[in-house]
Amino acid sequence: MSADGGRERGRLSAAVYGRVQGVGFRWFVRDRAAMLGLVGWVRNRPDGAVELVAEGRPDALEALLAELRAGPRGAVVTRVDAVHGPATGSFAEFAIRSGAHLGD
């Protein structure tokens, strides 16, 4: 049995649109992901969206997705595009990445 109680781990790739830059959204995502035991990354995109990849328990990924739809105080989320898939196991923590980072 694995360390997570035998539960399968998943991956959430998401882009969040609206007023999501300049309002602490990346810090919000990092804090929520850490509280949920998720690993991965978040970054600002040049088009004004916030992009993230998170891996962990499916229930924790769904909880993070709900948090993304609400956002922090000052944010106005108009859309969240999300794709679920299998975890890759390539992350050790949840990090805020530079907007210049191109993803995995």
The b/e string for 13-31 (b: 16+ C-beta within 10 A; e otherwise) is bbbbbbebbebebbebbbe
9, 26, 30, 57: the catalytic one is 26
26 given a catalytic annotation: yes
32, 43, 44, 57: the catalytic one is 44
Cα 37 to Cα 94: distance, rounded to the nearest angstrom? 9
69 given a catalytic annotation: no
Which residues carry out catalysis?
26, 44
